[in-house]
Amino acid sequence: MLNRFDYRSPQTGEAEVRYLDADFRVLRAGAFVRCAVTGVPIPLEELKYWSVERQEAYAGPEAVAQRLYADRVKPAT
């Protein structure tokens, strides 16, 4: 029996996603989305950070801070 942690998407390529307040809807099937700040692929099962207003995904809290507070946050080196 599979649960959400055992499941691995058989899809490949980049997904098209509509970001909602507490969830997201996959419009075009795929295995990942790209971080709007870093460009790194984010597997859909690991996607936790996004902006509903900007309709973009983020790889982690650092990317969120960099996008929202670019004038106050220095990029990681």
Q: Which residues contact 69 (CB under 8 A, 6 or more apart)?
A: none
pLDDT digits (tens, 9 = 90+) for 32-57: 999 999 999 999 999 999 999 999 99
The average pLDDT across 7-36 equals: 90
Query: Tokens 């984010």 correspond to what residue?
Result: 42
**What domain range is 54 assigned to?**
1-77
Q: Residues 44, 8: contact at Cβ < 8 Å?
A: no
Average pLDDT, the chain: 87
**Cα separation, 55 vs 12, whole angstroms:** 21
pLDDT at 2 (0 to 100):
43
Q: Residues 44, 28: contact at Cβ < 8 Å?
A: no
Full-model pTM: 0.77
